[in-house]
A and B are shown apart, each in its own frame.
Chain A
């Protein structure tokens, strides 16, 4: 399959690594000199830019975590001024506070380039109609895919999420050849289409899905491909890195992480030590060229492994395998990241209910369904059914506002929820992916 940027994509590994070293070196110098946050961090770690003498010296640099963004809300660690920014995106944080990401024009270009390479690698380009059914707005999915698809000369059908019947009509009428959405939303589209008497396989031109923003499995891939008659490709990214950024190629053998954009490491989440290719651990990424919000050794929290050999497609860049889990208790509900701690923070501000809770996640049809069980406080019980319903609605409303996902709430008797010291049993995930 042809490359968007063959010089880079098929560059010999040694040359790629030389390029990465140069980029890393200048990044570290720049941050040490101009960013108080990184300067402090490096001093604490007793590391100086001069200590970076080869690529492996990246391991001397301190890690970054999502909490660094939260603690510096909204833009304290940005290394560009507001005048230099051309866009913001916002994602959920682990507490009440969201995470804000800013982009310069160069940052957007890099993101778009990364997607242009990915989309080209699965055979999309001029002449294709790409339906973008990721949410447009603060979430990075919609706008990110939108510009990536435009860059390769495809025609974008920006349907965003929802109004599924209309999505299917447009898919047929405008001859969409590819769709970008969460895998569960594509399954939902398939189900709704069948109810409308439309077979995605026979009645549409759809031949590819670019699916991500939530965990899925090869079992689901086979099901989607057989049922809908398309090729299903995984895509990976997170707003802190820019957004959805790295796709599989036509070989479907892992995400190509472009070496000129990102330096990927797999580390042992307990010790922080770097692991070898093929070993499972936490993915850690250094964004080599970002201007507004450079991320150094950012620990995303996803568990996977890296494959360093040359891909059968001819691309030399390392690939990471499908995400196999999390180091924390983050959930992904309909493509949105949800931390149980967010639920805890939201409940703390509602006097009518207790602070113990339990989250139960299920798939209803193709879509995620999140139920939060919470105890009704003694003082707020009044004998009136309507009063209790009002409390429930209030909790649902508050949770929806802080999590950005629809939540059903069940009020339970005080003292009836399990009191665990650990966090694990607060979440019961019944989804079979």
Chain B
């Protein structure tokens, strides 16, 4: 199967570190009936980056840009994990052994299983290694 099917478009939003910014982003997405499937906030001194997987990334990009937000697309992958002790270890070990660096990651507990969202430096290789290990990658179509 083409690795492209496993590359998911995450939206990243630059946000000042002050009250109400996340609310504005969430409100804008809600207005457009865009569903947020997973998200995280990375914070640095004075600012943050909100990262989200949504069901309609293009629509979200357009809406947030029109409101003046700095928005960018980033390629991530999503791995289904066993929701048991040691589940994360399995995945992290596969990537570590292959010398693939995880730039950042966040997880959510899905309906059927836990899901790990990964931003890695070598996307295609990560997809291959994870598939070889027998772990399940979620296809883009699951999200959007």
Residues on A lying within 8 angstroms of B by beta carbon are: 376-378, 381-385, 388-389, 410-416
Contact = CB atoms under 8 A, between A and B. Distances in A.
B14 A388 contact: yes
Interface pairs A-B: 8 shortest CB-CB: A383-B12, A381-B70, A415-B68, A383-B74, A410-B46, A381-B14, A383-B72, A385-B44
Contacts of B69: 413-414
A403 B68 CA distance: 30
B139 to A, nearest CB: 22
A412 B16 contact: yes
Contact of A383 (B44, B49, B65): B49
A383 B51 contact: yes
Interface in B95-126: 103
B80 interface: no
A211 B19 CA distance: 41
Contacts of B65: 378
Contact of A385 (B42, B72, B74): B42
Interface in B39-62: 42, 44, 46-47, 49, 51
Contacts of B72: 381-383
Contacts of B49: 383, 385, 388
Contacts of B14: 376, 381, 388, 411, 413
Given A376-B14, A383-B51, A416 B68 contact: yes
Given A383-B72, A385-B42, A388-B14, 10 more contacts: A376-B70, A378-B70, A382-B72, A383-B10, A383-B49, A383-B74, A385-B44, A385-B49, A416-B16, A416-B68
Contact of A388 (B44, B51, B68): B44
Contacts of A413: 14-16, 68-70
12 contacts: A376-B14, A378-B65, A378-B70, A383-B10, A383-B12, A383-B51, A383-B72, A411-B46, A412-B16, A413-B69, A414-B69, A414-B70
B44 A389 contact: yes
Contacts of B44: 385, 388-389
Nearest to B17: A410
B18 to A, nearest CB: 9
Main secondary structure of the interface of B (DSSP, over half): strand
Contacts of A377: 70
What band does the interface of chain B fall in when counting residues whose beta carbon is under 8 Å from A? 10 to 19
Most buried by A among B12, B51, B70, B71: B70
Interface string B1-43: 0000000001010111000000000000000000000000010
Contact of B68 (A384, A410, A414): A414
Contacts of B70: 376-378, 381, 413-414
A382 to B, nearest CB: 6
Nearest to A381: B70
Contacts of A378: 65, 70
Contacts of A389: 44
A183 to B, nearest CB: 30
A244 to B, nearest CB: 37
Nearest to B43: A385
A412 B12 CA distance: 15
Contacts of B47: 388, 410-412
B41 to A, nearest CB: 11
A413 B16 CA distance: 6
Contacts of A415: 68
A369 to B, nearest CB: 14
Contacts of B46: 410-411
Contacts of A385: 42, 44, 49
Contacts of B15: 413
B103 to A, nearest CB: 8
B29 to A, nearest CB: 16
Most buried by B among A376, A384, A410: A384
Nearest to A412: B16
B52 to A, nearest CB: 11
Nearest to A411: B47
A217 B39 CA distance: 52
A382 B47 CA distance: 14
B8 to A, nearest CB: 14
A415 B69 CA distance: 9
A408 B12 CA distance: 25
A411 B71 CA distance: 15
A191 to B, nearest CB: 25
A45 to B, nearest CB: 50
A274 B47 CA distance: 51
A410 B17 CA distance: 10
Nearest to B75: A383
A382 B74 CA distance: 8
B22 to A, nearest CB: 13
Most buried by B among A376, A377, A381, A383: A383
